[in-house]
Copies of this chain bind each other. A is one copy, B any other.
Amino acid sequence: MIITLVKDADIACIDAMIDALESLDFSCQTTLGKHYTIVHVIGDTSRYDEKKLYAYPCVKSVVRIQEPYQKTQRQSLTEKTIIRVKNLEIGGREPVYIAGPCSIESLEQIESIAEMVAASEGHILRGGAFKPRTSPYDFQGFGEKALEYLSLAANKYHLVSVSEILDLNDLHLFEKYVDIIQVGARNMQNTALLKALGRASKPILLKRGFGNTVEEWLMSAEYIISHGNKNVILCERGIRTFEPSTRHTLDLAGMLYVKQISHLPVIVDPSHAAGRWDLVEGLAKASIAAGADGVMIEVHPQPERAFSDGAQALKPSRFSALVQDLKRLHKALK
């Protein structure tokens, strides 16, 4: 950690700060530059909250050298976490293809989509049972019943299932019915939920909050891992920007950067990023070509009748064709 002092810093203030740091077993080394004085703090600062130091008036700026996300961070160039669910590997050689409706509307609906996903060589069936809607008047999901339908449909077609949790009190339902538990963008920093999921037995698919940095995203993964659950899959799904033509702006550079610094698998959700189906295929191809570990696509047989998010759902025939394109792209880069 590197502390730059203000010009003409008060000596008593510097001494108090160094005493405080040394009482935590850090050692401090001071260097006089031509224009500024620097204090170099040596020791394991990964768990020290460097922002505290700004409370000392003698401090101009503090730069953290060590990353604060030790368990999420890749320790070597080749370290990679592969998560195994049933017979599926996530983060392995082949990208995974996840598809399904925004909301589970009936057993027939989710079974017919499951059949299509399996026929299209998809691996994971997604479907919402508890929906985090912006408006209290929008459809909120069918709850436990929907989780049960998802489970039946996934098992029937030998697919892995994933669904989003909103309330930590529902954890037992997710443990019972689904294979992977999703944390949505709006709950990425719901620390009470993250801690509870650290004690879950199922892998967690952690979406990036649309107002959150890559570092905060990794810190949320660190919450889950440090509370006991190592199986975290990251999912980039777009961030908030000033551009109004798409719902969010997909940050593929963020995805690439996370794959460099972390050992966790990273997938991409182009449907929620774009918010409009006609851009989803292009963004899915971009994601796989860039090296994502998978994509998650909203699919609905009759998007205009979907209970939610129909605007961004692909029709089944387009999804099937897309998977073939993605496979060709992945093969071209091997």
Q: Which residues of A contact B (CB under 8 A)?
A: 2, 4, 16-17, 20, 29, 31, 33-36, 38, 40, 42-44, 46-47, 49, 51-56, 61, 63, 65-66, 68, 132-140, 166-169, 186-187, 189-193, 195, 209-216, 219, 222-223, 226-227, 239-246, 249-254, 256-257, 260, 273-279, 282-283, 285-291, 300, 303-306, 308-313, 325, 328-329, 331-333
Contact = CB atoms under 8 A, between A and B. Distances in A.
Contacts of A306: 52, 55
- Each complex incorporates copies of this chain amounting to 4
A219 B135 contact: yes
A137 B190 contact: no
Given A52-B306, A239-B243, A240-B242, 5 more contacts: A34-B44, A54-B311, A55-B313, A286-B287, A289-B289
B65 A134 contact: no
12 contacts: A2-B63, A34-B42, A35-B66, A47-B137, A49-B308, A52-B306, A68-B137, A136-B223, A211-B211, A214-B243, A240-B242, A249-B254
A304 B136 contact: no
B166 A191 contact: yes
A42 B51 contact: no
A261 to B, nearest CB: 9
Given A65-B36, A283-B256, A304 B186 contact: no
A278 B36 CA distance: 20
Contacts of A277: 55
Given A65-B38, A66-B35, A333-B328, A213 B190 contact: no
Given A2-B63, A135-B222, A274 B249 contact: no
A297 to B, nearest CB: 15
Contact of A34 (B34, B43, B132, B332): B43
Given A286-B289, A313-B55, A252 B250 contact: yes
Contact of A226 (B136, B282, B305): B136
A16 B304 contact: yes
A31 B40 contact: yes
Nearest to A139: B49
Contacts of A278: 260
A325 to B, nearest CB: 6
